[in-house]
Structure 1
Amino acid sequence: MTTANRAYTDSLRLSVAPMLDWTDRHCRYFHRLLAPGARLYSEMMHANAILHGDRERHLGHDACDNPVALQLGGSDPALLAQAAQVAAAWGYDEINLNCGCPSDRVQAGRFGACLMREPALVAECVAAMVAAVDIPVTVKCRLGVDEDNDYEQFAAFVDAQVAAGADMVIVHARNAWLKGLSPKENREIPPLKYDWAYRLKAERPQLPVVLNGGIASLEAVQAHLQQVDGVMLGRIAYHDPYVLHLVEAAQTGMAVRSRTELLRQMQPYVQGWLERGVALKHISKHLLGLYAGQPGGRAFRQVLSEGAHRPGAGWELVEAAIAVTGEGRELC
């Protein structure tokens, strides 16, 4: 493996999953403060939205976000290639193709998890994007759909994408049920089979493999990293974001900082957006889980969630929320 490839692989040891309506630019700024070396992913954007929508709203991000990847949805190779070019011009470091979302709306548009039944089409999409940009093109997929239970079929899907030029695969280690389960149930009911991702990596040692699905603790992250190149955290990174900081510290040896110290680093960013007319609620919603499981954590969440929607709400509300935890007084 070249030095450049090794550096790329090392940057994937911790990443935050693309989550619709959650991992917007404000969320990513917060996560970057918690985990300076993590790879961050945008919400999934359909290629048509990138090409025909409000690009500042869809693609705008802060320089400190990097390394940051754009997750694309779609199944038209030409449109995906054009969208990838736009994203690269906006400073994204990676293009990730969604082959894992099971929602009805996504299926109706012929993208997401249903694409696992069309590996040749996905390979065409990957090849088109690889030809269009000089940044890595990657694929996020499930193990299969519905009753699929064939490791060789899953591995063949991955091999087709690698042959088309994909630099990496992110494996959500459970099936997607396209009928009968909601997207939420699809994150919880189909059984996790981490051993499939482990086997994929063992059999293809040169292929970077990142594991996603049901990973909710520092101890779990450390265990999985013995088998794969990286771990992607999803809901836990949003509902208990301090876990990101603990994982980053364990991986890099950086000093662990308090929740309040980290949160107060958000003040200039928050005030800058308030001055631009953005309501506090659009930023503060991403902060609600910071004190999860801590004394005063519920009160912190209540103060922020009840006050942020009010006209004129500003940083003083965040300080009031910090105050109810008791932690802030120790850092004044």
Structure 2
Amino acid sequence: MIKSLERVFSEFVIFLGAARLRALFLLIAGTGLVSLMLNAVQGETWVVPVQSALMLIAAFGSAAIIVTRMEREDRQRWIALLVPALGLIVLGVFFLPNWALALVGAAIGWIVAGLIVFRGRAPIEYQKAIRHLRHNEYEEAVKVMDGMIKDEPNQPNHYRFRAELLRLWGKLDRARRDYQKMTEIDPTSAVAFNGLAEVNLQAGRFTDALAAAHKAAELAPGEWVALYNLGMIEDRLSQSQNAIEHLTQALSAGVRDARHRLLIRFYLVRAYARLGDTANAQAELITLRKDKSGISEWTTILASDQAETLRAVIGQDVELATQLISGELDVMALGAAS
């Protein structure tokens, strides 16, 4: 149970990102602290209404921080759930205090019921596609998503999932079209531009990949995935100083798994080596060796039948990182060879 809660919390932290997590903490801590300080005020009738207002500010602000992080269709669903629920809470706190407890219960009940009512058929269809994928039946998996997109042509997540299937199948042109369609449906979607950057990177279209990655990082500032992809593309283009800047920002945003930290450190080593900065290259190599468990993670992932396109993108990087860690490859030789 505790491990499950820890996993949920970790996923929530990664979902929000460093900037939004910090804003959420400051909002809750700030309103809570002011509310506690008001407890010291005696005999003033305005204290309770102000504390109630602070509670609502914390509730509405927290909801806004979380909901605005979601993709458009998820955001619309949660707005439809939360607005009536928060309205009931406001009604209970400010206008019908004697009914406050009942109204809060009704708000919670609305959210629970809404989660059931608004749940679509997508999970079932996605599961069908995944079952085909497990048997390497790419064409059948894509056909499942074709049907969903025909019925719901304005749902960007359907295009996203089909694009991921197409990438595994090696159909990069079709995957790129799906990510492009996502950007047309929701031009504010960092996920869409990030996917577009990745598929262009896989196809060796580095200039297009760089433009999409910049847009993703602009739409999701402080998100490590966007910064990581941007830094990787800049590594491919030998834009070493830019790569150092964005990869360092990615690490600061918090990269939970060792395999991605390993590649980030590897790209940093290579960037410093290309710049002839031996001291920083050696310092990054020391840190790279601390994340060497990422090698075994990548080895397992890349051994999969479904990792062909991924092997083409990072297989050599993982091999070079392995040689650096073992001492078979000299740091500065890495810069000279690339």
TM-score where L is the length of structure 2: 0.31
Higher relative contact order (CA 8 A, sep 6+): 1
TM-score where L is the length of structure 1: 0.31
Q: If you compute each CA radius of gyration, which structure gives the higher value, 1 or 2?
A: 2
Between Structure 1 and Structure 2, the one with more helix by share is 2
Between Structure 1 and Structure 2, the one with more strand by share is 1
